[in-house]
Amino acid sequence: MPLFWRIFLLNAVVLVAATALLLLGPATVSAPVRLAEAAVLSGGLAAMLIANALLLRIGLAPLQRLARAMTTTDLLRPGARPAVGGHGEVAELITTFNTMLDRLEAERATSAARALTAQEAERHRIAQELHDEIGQTLTAVLLDLKRVADQAPDPVREQLHQVQETTRASLDEIRRIARRLRPGVLEELGLTSALKSLAAEFTSPALSVRHHIEPDLPPLGENAELVLYRVAQESLTNTARHADATRVGLTLERTPDGVELCVRDNGRGIEVATEGAGIRGMRERALLIGAGLTFGPAPDGGTEVRLTVPTPHRSQ
- Tell me the pLDDT tens digit for each residue of 103-121: 887 777 777 777 777 777 7
* Boundaries of domain holding 233: 189-316
Q: Is residue 130 part of a domain?
A: no
Mean pLDDT of the chain: 79
- Determine the Cα–Cα distance for residues 70 and 74; give it in Å rounded to an integer: 9
Q: Is residue 168 part of a domain?
A: no
Q: Is residue 175 part of a domain?
A: no
- The answer to whether residues 193 and 98 belong to one domain is no
- Residue 25, pLDDT above cutoff 90: no
Q: Are 248 and 239 spatial neighbours (Cβ–Cβ below 8 Å)?
A: yes
Return the CATH number at 304. Answer: 3.30.565.10
Q: Is residue 136 part of a domain?
A: no
| pLDDT (0 to 100) of residue 26 | 67
Highest mean pLDDT among 44-53, 94-103, 216-225, 260-269: 260-269
Distances (CA, A) of 92 to 79, 131, 283, 285: 20, 58, 31, 33
| pLDDT (0 to 100) of residue 315 | 40
% of the chain at pLDDT higher than 90? 8
Confidence band for 272, pLDDT divided at 50, 70 and 90: low
Q: Is residue 264 part of a domain?
A: yes
- Determine the Cα–Cα distance for residues 239 and 246; give it in Å rounded to an integer: 9
If you average pLDDT over residues 252-269, what whole number do you get? Answer: 89
- The answer to whether residues 99 and 193 belong to one domain is no
- The answer to whether residues 216 and 93 belong to one domain is no
- The answer to whether residues 314 and 194 belong to one domain is yes
Q: Are 183 and 227 spatial neighbours (Cβ–Cβ below 8 Å)?
A: no
- The answer to whether residues 197 and 99 belong to one domain is no
Q: Is residue 293 part of a domain?
A: yes
- Residue 273, pLDDT above cutoff 60: no
> How many structural domains comprise the chain?
2
If you average pLDDT over residues 227-239, what whole number do you get? Answer: 90
- Residue 75, pLDDT above cutoff 70: no
Confidence band for 314, pLDDT divided at 50, 70 and 90: very low
Q: Is residue 256 part of a domain?
A: yes
Q: Is residue 146 part of a domain?
A: no
